[in-house]
Structures are given as structure tokens and as C-alpha cells.
Amino acid sequence: MRTILLLLLFAPSLGACAAGTPAAAHADPATECRPVDTSTPLAVSRVEGEGVVVHTLVSPESSASVTSHVIETERHLVVVDAQLFRGYARQLRDYVDALGKPIDRVIITHGHPDHYLGLELFEDAPSWAFEETRVDIRQRQRFHIRMHREWERECDAVAERAVIPTNVLEEGDYVLDGVTLRLARARDAEDNDQLVVYVPAARALILQDLVANDVHAFTATGMIPHWIEVLRGAQQTYPDAEHVLAGHGPPGGPEVISEMIDYLEGARRIHEAELDEGAFRDGFLSGWPDRRGTYIVDLMVTVRYDGR
């Protein structure tokens, strides 16, 4: 999992070279596959509103605390993001099926593999994403799959091909069984194009990777200033939000956004300082001792210093 976030730096350029008809990625027969334990149940929480329940499912820390959400209306379900590992995507699908309602759509919020590779478990359902996200997945998929199946030696624990969302999502209100989902776009923040979903009836704001709750975030993207602007804009746009749902970590309240802004401002100071390797790492670990996911900090150390 340490290499998972290298996509933020290298996938756009590598993926662009891999455009065209995708080929399935298979692990090198000489490579010894690393067991991936997905037996730990996804942690589940629920937010209830008038005519709607928003379910959040979070993978364990060993799988980067990745989240998926299920918006349940009177007669339908909307799934937001599909997990990385097949085992957790299967758990998500089983949970969705147990709710006993048809899937109206599966929405992929952005083009990172821990949010879209599990889509293979939902191929029978309509899938949607912004056109820019569809392009990102198409261009990055070979790199992402090779990274996990070969370099990380996770082999069949992840999909051998990416499922590209078939429908183009547009910004605006989507009404399902009388419940409004407000769909908006955020650009040039944690990734270059990301979906924000607000469910007013539940006062639930799904920000996905724009915020990480109780875990470290990969901030070596070069987009921190605008990322902060995006989050401040979210505070102004959704003042009634009582529940903030992150892409990594458990659900929280509006304080999650403020805490993420503080984190990003501190991270920017660390990135801009002339620090040696140890001081850089300690800046994150001592600055936020309660955040989990220290491997993300180690990854940023590798990216920053091993490339010199």
C-alpha cells in the first residue's frame, strides 16, 4: 500500500502513454504474490434524514481507511466509490445487496484506484463519473493496475482490468425518490478533478479525498494553496452540513474541514522549509501525533528525498 499514492505524481504522464485499448495486467509468474487479508469487516456507520439514509463503509487502516458510501432512498440505492481490493469491494457489494433495493447508479468521484478498481463488482449497475474522471481512469489504469498487481505484489487481490464508468455525470441537482443529491465539481486540489455530493435531507456532505479524517493525507501534490481555497469554499457553500464524509477515515462533523485546512497549512510550511529527511518526517508525526497512516508520511519522504 505504500506505493498507492505515487499515482498523484506519476500516473498522469505514464497513463497518457498508455492510452488506447486497455490490456489486462497479470502479475509476473516469477513474482511471489503477497497475501492481502480482507477478512476484517468494513466499519459501517449511518446518517439518517427525511426519506434517506447515508451509509458509510470504511476499510481498515491496512487498506488506507478507504471509504465508500451508499445513499439509500425509499426505493433505490446510489453507491459512491467502490474500494480498491476485491475482498472489500465484495463486502461492499454484499452490503448493498442485503439492503434489498435496486442500484440506481454507482458514482466514481475521481480517478484514484482505491476508489474505482472495485467497480468490477458493480458491472451490472449503471456507472457514472465526470468526463474528466473517465479520461483520468482510462489514461491511468495500466499504471495503477501494474503498480498494485506487480510492484506491490498484490496480484489477484485487485482487478486485472479497470471498468470505465459508462455514463457522463454532470453537475447539478439529481432527484431520486424525492431526495435531492447536489453534485458539484472541485478542481486542482487533492486530484485534478473531483466530485462533491451534498445530501441536504441528511445534511451529509461527501467530500471524499478532499478531506482525510484522523489519518495523514498525501500532500506532495503541488496544489495545496488551491486545495485550501476549495475547502474554504465548501464551508461557505454548505453551511448547513452537519456530517462530513471523508475519502479516508471515519465520518465526522464540520470540524473535519477546519482540521483539514489546518493540516494543509501546516503541511505547506513543512514542504516549503529546507528540512532534512528526519526533520521533514518528524514535522508531520509530531505535528499531528493522533493521525494514523504514518506510511503516507514515509511515502512523501521517499518521493521528496530519494528523487534528489
CA separation (Å) from 197 to 8, 110, 307?
22, 12, 37
In order of start, what are the domains of the chain with their CATH numbers?
2-22+41-305 (3.60.15.10)
Q: What is the pLDDT of residue 277?
A: 94
Which residue reads 487481490 in cell numbers?
157
What pLDDT is attached to residue 221?
Answer: 82
**DSSP readout, 214-252?**
SB----TTS-HHHHHHHHHHHHHH-TT--EEEEEES--B
Digit-coded pLDDT (tens) for 14-55: 333 333 334 445 545 456 899 999 999 999 999 999 999 999
Q: What is the pLDDT of residue 151?
A: 82
pLDDT given at position 50: 97
Write down the pTM of the prediction: 0.90
**Alpha-carbon distance 167 to 127, whole Å?**
6
* Residues of the chain falling short of pLDDT 70: 1-31, 307-308
Summarised one tens digit per residue, pLDDT across range 146-173 is 988 988 889 999 999 999 999 999 999 9
Residue 28 is predicted with a pLDDT of 53
Q: Which pLDDT belongs to residue 3?
A: 43
Residue whose C-alpha cell reads 532534512 in the numeric block: 276
pLDDT reported for residue 74: 98
What local confidence, expressed as pLDDT, does residue 62 receive? 87
At residue 227, the pLDDT reads 98
Q: Is residue 255 packed enough to be buried (19+ CB in 10 Å), middle (13-18) or exposed (0-12)?
A: exposed
The C-alpha cell 480498491 sits at 84
pLDDT of residue 302: 83
